[in-house]
Structure 1
Amino acid sequence: MDGQVETADVIVVGAGPGGSATAAYLAGHGLEVLLLEKASFPRDKVCGDGLTPRAVRELISLGVSIREEDGWHRTKGLRILGGGVRMELDWPGSETYPAYGLVRTRMDLDQTLARHAASRGARLHEGMNVQAPVLDDRGHICGVTAKVMGPDGRATGEKREFRAPVVVAADGNSSRLSLSMDRPKRDDRPMGVAVRTYYRTPRHDDEYIESHLELWTKGDQGEDVLMPGYGWMFPLGDGTANVGLGILDTSEAFGTFDYRDVLRRWVAGMPEEWGMGEETQLGPVRGAALPMCFNRQPLYERGLLLVGDAGGMVNPFNGEGIAEAMEAGRRSAEIVASALARPTPGEREAVLRSYPAVMKDSLGGYYTLGRHFATLIGKPEVMRLAVKYGLPRKALMRLLLKIMANLPQERGGRLDDRVINALTRMTPAA
């Protein structure tokens, strides 16, 4: 191993929103933190780039500036299109959540959060491609080895080793570190696939993010053709918009079509005044998997905690993962800091083992409801009925928005808030 071994109290692998939030909070608790990122910033990640009020709350808690002059585009709510209905639903502000969302490219967001973690005291190392865990004589992780990557993304040939008594895997859906520690994905959890690209468009400063429940195009004879999947358009406020589509593996059409071709055909049928087409497309269409409902467990074992996509923390109702990842970062940091303050190994281990229960108390019941939801909307006849009879009812759609974005007021609130909270508490986490 090249060079000297670097040590810390905690190692966080992956500087996405979950990893950077974890590192920032850990440093705020007075711990020495190593934040290891495979790429060099700025770097891109496939995402819709939309942040619900739940994610905004996490940014505020973290102490990140979200002023519009710093590059954040604010949104008032969600516009839904389907079944001939066009409906605008404002974000339901409350004591718990602000009444606005944000849009920011992952290219900017991830760099902002990583630099924020560094400003709080975390030691950020870019270009560190973590390869394997280092295990102690108990089989617990006590460090990682990494290949050093150059600015061009190629390995330099140098290797590094890092040591810490606790390691956090925030290294995404594939999570090499989790697999190395014998934590494969669970097959009984929903998985999504999403593709997206960017377009220059005069709609870049829209106040609403947009969700298309139906994707229409023209057939060879000029007839209307309904394609599989669900689309979105998220305005970035900088002259561009993020446009993409997704589908759940509970759908009968999952894996049976070319996602990129469907996106191209859908965009080709958009109104000409939107200005979206091959001549205004910025960059290639890129895709990614969306791991949902704690699809990798246990969330803690043998010194390794899972945060964000590494632990399958994507919302099955709407495909959002940033809010959940940052929440997991906040909660995991509290637990790790408390554990490392305990005087004996046994006490430290007992505190660390509380992490799965804490996350399941927070999101487990909600995710169980989401699993049933994902199964239902995967059936075309159910989806058709939902669009036909549910979408025209604005009061019902307001309730569904609060459920799907997980925005009930935490304590008290309106009747719908209390019902949603009671339902998620009564639903067993798994």
Structure 2
Amino acid sequence: MGPEPADCEVLVAGAGPAGSACAQMLARAGLDVLLVDRQDFPREKVCGDGLIPDAQRALARLGVLDAVLARAAVASHVGCVAPRGGRVEVPASLAVLPRRTLDEIVRRAALEAGARWFAPARFEAPLADGNGRVAGALLRLADGSARTLRARWTVLATGAAAPPLLAAAMCSRRAPSGVALRGYVRNEAMAGRLRQLEVVWDRSLRGGYGWIFPCGAGVFNIGVGSLASQGGSKPDLNLRALFASFTRVYAPARALMEGGRLQGELKGAPLRCSLQGARWSRPGLLVAGEAAGSTYSFTGEGIGKALESGMLAAEAIAEAGSNDAGVGARYEAALGALRPRFAAYAHANRINDHPWLADFVIWRARRSPGIVRRLSGVLEESYSPGQLVTARGLLRLLLPVS
């Protein structure tokens, strides 16, 4: 007997940046794509909302950058603040747009390209054919009923949560790489004072950092993150206590909270980093986005590489035509080519674990335009962040750089 008829050629589970980017690229290539998500849209997503250059390049490829920038708060610098109070302004092309809006723009672009939409529907388990190849998914609907959808390919882009990966037999590590907590605060009085993105290191932040990102109209995304150097998240970490420490030690954060109004609750989320913690493919299924570990360690930035991984998954499937052999290998090779960059960010995460490194780098950058250019290159992906914290790199920082 041949395979059962498919409900779609490609089922994409998860409509965040990775899933929607994948769905758009596949629909552009003429494939019948069904995009599903456990929530209807628009919906909130816990994130810092910062769009650095790699995210903007990916959004440009998807044809939505202008629409995003029209809604975003655009910035030209990120202020890096060291534990001892030193500060350096690092130039870059930056923007901030809440994920509720960003993800809806990217999702709508996928639908406009021809992808179909089905939500709310939670991925519960893969379907398998007689050879064990994934042939679609079992979905759980909002009323508790089940729905099976058959597909030639399934792309799992369900984010950092472990259950979908476990259900698909793709999880190699349950624990996340890190955790983050963020809130939105409205404080019109601070709008003129906090115009750029701010990232703050302090010894009280326990292997992480705090941030304040202006969203426009007197609203700010404020949060804290903690990223483990090896393996899973730090044990017994109280994110609310970490947030309280941030507002205690950093005066602008304290002023923002004391004079502002929280828009909703503080919300936390796990992070999966460094392309670790999950298998990337099995016959009939690819894993993309944060489910595959697409968030950078050290910075916690994940939107750009989530978009990129979704597009790589789409390219691997679309290029196969009617021949599915080798799709997984092509995708793994493309994603694997990004490993050295992720490894460099994981190495640079030493700055979060050893705040004196942030003091040293920022102290030198305040005295050297060349070092500021290197830091800008980290944001632009033209300079490896790992070079900042090697013994040789630290020695180089002591040398005059014009």
In 2: Cα distance, 1:177 partner to 1:272 partner = 36
Provide Cα deviations, 1:213-262, integer angstroms capped at 9, x if missing partner: 227xxxxxxxxxx44331100100132000001112239x9334422123
Show the counterpart of 2:26: 26
| Counterpart Cα distance in 2 of 1:286 and 1:392 | 38
Does the Cα contact within 8 Å between 1:298 and 1:356 map onto a contact in 2? no
Partners of 2:172 and 2:267 in 1: how far apart? 23
Shift of 1:169: 0.4
Specify the alignment match of 2:119 in structure 1: 126
**Worse overlay, 308-317 or 363-372:** 363-372
Whichever residue aligns with residue 347 of structure 2, its letter is H
- List per-residue Cα deviations over 1:266-319 (Å, max 9, x = no partner): 325634995423851222111111111111343121211111111011111311
- Which residue of structure 1 aligns with residue 89 of structure 2? 88
Which one is further off, 326-335 or 204-213? 204-213
Instruction: Specify which of 93, 102, 108 is matched with residue 109 of structure 1.
Output: 102
Match of 1:234 in 2: 213
**Aligned-partner residue type, residue 81 of structure 2:** L
The equivalent of 2:397 in structure 1 is none
Structure 1 position 357 matched with structure 2 position 344: no
C-alpha displacement of 1:371: 2.4
**Contact 1:6–1:161 (8 Å) recurs in 2:** no
Q: SS state of the match for residue 114, structure 2?
A: coil
Q: Find the counterpart in structure 2 of residue 266 from structure 1.
A: 246
Structure 1 residues 371-380 or 6-15, which shifts more?
371-380
In the other structure, the counterpart of 1:39 is 39
Question: How many equivalent pairs are there?
Answer: 377
Shift of 1:329: 1.4
| Cα offset, 1:27, TM superposition | 0.2
Show the counterpart of 2:400: none
Paired AA for residue 238 in structure 2: D
Separation in 2, partners of 1:273, 1:125: 43
**Structure 1 residue 77: Cα displacement:** 2.2
* Aligned amino acid, residue 315 of structure 2: E
Residue matched to 1:14:
14
1:30-69 correspondence to structure 2 within 5 Å: 30-67=30-67
Task: Give secondary structure in 2 for the equivalent of 1:352.
Answer: helix
SS of 1:340 mapped into structure 2: coil
Partners in 2 of 1:68 and 1:365 — Cα distance?
Answer: 29
1:392 and 1:198 mapped to 2: Cα distance? 34
Deviation at 1:388, TM superposition (A): 5.0
Cα–Cα, structure 1 residues 378 and 190, in superposed 2: closer, same or farther, change >3 Å?
farther
1:369 alignment partner in structure 2: 344
Shift of residue 204, structure 1, vs aligned partner: 4.2
Native 8 Å contact 1:301 1:353 kept in 2: no
Is residue 195 from structure 1 mapped to residue 181 from structure 2 by the alignment? yes
SS in 2 for 1:354: helix
Query: Could you tell me which residue of structure 2 aligns to residue 378 of structure 1?
Result: 353
Structure 1 stretch displaced more, 265-274 or 39-48 = 265-274
Amino acid in the other structure paired with 1:306: V
Q: 8 Å contact 1:190–1:248 — kept in the other structure?
A: no
Q: 1 CA distance for matches of 2:81 and 2:297?
A: 20
| Aligned mates of 1:134, 1:278 — CA distance in 2 | 53
TM-score calculated relative to the size of structure 1: 0.80
Instruction: Say whether the 8 Å CA contact 1:77–1:207 is kept in structure 2.
Output: no
The answer as to whether partners of 1:199 and 1:277 remain within 8 angstroms in 2 is no
Partner residue of 1:209?
197
The answer to whether structure 1 residue 183 and structure 2 residue 170 are counterparts is yes
Unaligned 5+ runs, structure 1? 92-99, 150-155, 216-225, 343-347, 409-415, 424-430
Larger CA deviation: 268-277 vs 135-144? 268-277
Percent identity of equivalent pairs: 30
Instruction: Compute the TM-score of the two structures, normalised by the length of structure 2.
Output: 0.85
Matched, 1:167 2:154: yes
**Which residue pairs with 1:153 in the alignment?**
none
1:383-398 aligned at under 5 Å gives the runs 385-386=360-361, 389=364, 393-398=368-373
Distance in 2 (alpha carbons) for counterparts of 1:272 and 1:139: 53
Aligned CA distance change for structure 1 residues 280 and 177 (closer, same or farther; 3 Å): closer
Q: Distance in 2 between matches of 1:103 and 1:28?
A: 27
For 1:376-419, what per-residue CA distance to the aligned partner results, in whole angstroms no more than 9, with x for missing partners?
6424555554455566544224313322x3522xxxxxxx69x9
CA distance in 1, matches of 2:116, 2:50: 28
Tell me the distance in 2 between the aligned counterparts of 1:60 and 1:157. 39
**Partner amino acid, structure 1, of 2:333:** A
Contact 1:85 1:392 in 2 (8 A): no
What amino acid sits opposite 2:328 in the alignment?
Answer: L
Distance 1:303 1:79 in 2: 45
Residues 68 and 102 of structure 2 are in contact (CA less than 8 Å); yes or no, is this contact kept in structure 1?
no
Contact 1:141 1:302 (C-alpha < 8 Å) held by counterparts: yes
Structure 2 unaligned segments of length 5 or more: list them. 391-402
Which amino acid is 2:157 matched to?
A
Q: Which residue of 2 aligns with 1:426?
A: none
